[in-house]
Amino acid sequence: MADAGESVNKDMKVFVVESQELPPQVSVRRDGPQLSVIYLLLAVALLGVFIEAGFIWHLYSRTAASSDIQKVEYIKGEKHTFPSSSHDSNEILPAKPPNAESKPAAFLQIASPPFSGNGVLHWRADSFPVFMRGLEYKDNSLYVQQDGYYYIFSKISHMENCNFFKHQVMQCTERYSFKAIELMQSSRFICVTNLSQSRGNSYLGGIFHLFKGDSVFVKVSNSSQVHGEAYENFFGAFMV
């Protein structure tokens, strides 16, 4: 039996398994200074975003406030126009005066022949560039249809041939029993012996308070001295 045991022992082989070594764990190194720089950059970026948002909000607030002020001024009548879009928000165009096109006005040029008797000049009111709006022309006079202040003007070209020349703008009104009264006058006497065909000009203009039914006309002392083309002799009025 001893021999059998020895035989078994001789046949047995002993295997020794060596343990396999695991790779060493790599430790994650947390570098403190580098993380601090990253955090700082993130903070600066966020701060920039907040600052930009603040500027945008401030600009929007100013634009909205300016728009509200313009709307209030427009409602009060202090501004006649306000911008309809952001493109023209900084361009306030000059507004047209209210009812400018409805105010009475007239411009007349001298007719041919220029006089109708007693030195009262005759005008034409039916050809370009003359016009009539809110006034009536009849009997060589302009008749007022609406009370108000009117600028009346007249310009006459005349000969200076050693004769006295007087240029007048007259008014007829119910307040003076429709008796003609003088509003403006220009008179002169010039005698140039060597220039017998010389010409002069007389211009009258002024603002007067006229009432409905009043009339104004132009009169000269010597209508034969009136000289020149139609565009050199004119008469008109407009409400101011």
Whole-number pLDDT of residue 70? 57
Q: What is the pLDDT of residues 20-56, one digit of tens each?
A: 555 555 454 555 677 787 888 888 888 888 888 887 8
Same-domain check for residues 68 and 122: no
182 found inside a domain: yes
44 found inside a domain: yes
Q: How confident is the model at residue 89 (pLDDT cuts 50, 70, 90)?
A: very low
The model carries a pTM of 0.57
Same-domain check for residues 127 and 160: yes
> Averaged over 108-135, what is the pLDDT?
89
Whole-number pLDDT of residue 3? 54
Same-domain check for residues 144 and 78: no
Whole-number pLDDT of residue 223? 85
Whole-number pLDDT of residue 30? 54
Range of the domain at 58: 32-88
> Averaged over 54-74, what is the pLDDT?
66
Same-domain check for residues 173 and 139: yes
Same-domain check for residues 171 and 213: yes
What would the DSSP string read from start to end of the chain? Answer: -HHHHHHHHHH------PPPPPPPPPPPP--HHHHHHHHHHHHHHHHHHHHHHHHHHHHHHHHHHHHHHHHHHHHHTS-S---SSGGGTT--PPPPPTTGGGS-EEEEEEEEEEE-STTBEEEE-SSTT-EEESEEEETTEEEE-S-EEEEEEEEEEEE-EEEEEEEEEEEE-GGGTT--EEEEEEEEEEE-TT-TT-EEEEEEEEEEEE-TT-EEEEEES-GGGB-S-GGGSEEEEEE-
Whole-number pLDDT of residue 78? 46
b/e code 144-174 from CB counts within 10 Å (16+ = b): beeeeebebbbbbbbbbbeeebebbbbbbbe
184, β-bridge pairs: 169
10 found inside a domain: no
Same-domain check for residues 139 and 171: yes
Q: Are strands 234-239 and 105-115 parallel, antiparallel or unpaired?
A: antiparallel
- Whether residue 13 has pLDDT greater than 80: no
22 found inside a domain: no
Same-domain check for residues 41 and 160: no
Number of domains in the chain: 2
Tokens of 238: 């407009």
Same-domain check for residues 69 and 123: no
Q: What is the pLDDT of residues 216-226, one digit of tens each?
A: 999 999 888 89
37 found inside a domain: yes
Same-domain check for residues 84 and 107: no
Residue after which a domain boundary falls, among 53, 88, 123: 88
Angstrom distance (rounded) from CA 150 to CA 122: 21
Task: Choose between 12 and 45: higher pLDDT.
Answer: 45
8 found inside a domain: no
Q: What is the pLDDT of residues 177-186, one digit of tens each?
A: 999 999 999 9
What mean pLDDT value characterizes the chain?
Answer: 78
Give the closest residue to 134 by CA, choosing from 27, 212, 82, 19: 212
Q: How confident is the model at residue 95 (pLDDT cuts 50, 70, 90)?
A: low
Same-domain check for residues 167 and 194: yes
- Whether residue 79 has pLDDT greater than 50: no
Tell me the torsion sign for CA atoms 218, 219, 223, 227. negative
Whole-number pLDDT of residue 236? 97
Same-domain check for residues 136 and 74: no
Whole-number pLDDT of residue 159? 87
5 found inside a domain: no
Same-domain check for residues 129 and 223: yes
What CATH number is given to the structural domain containing 205? 2.60.120.40
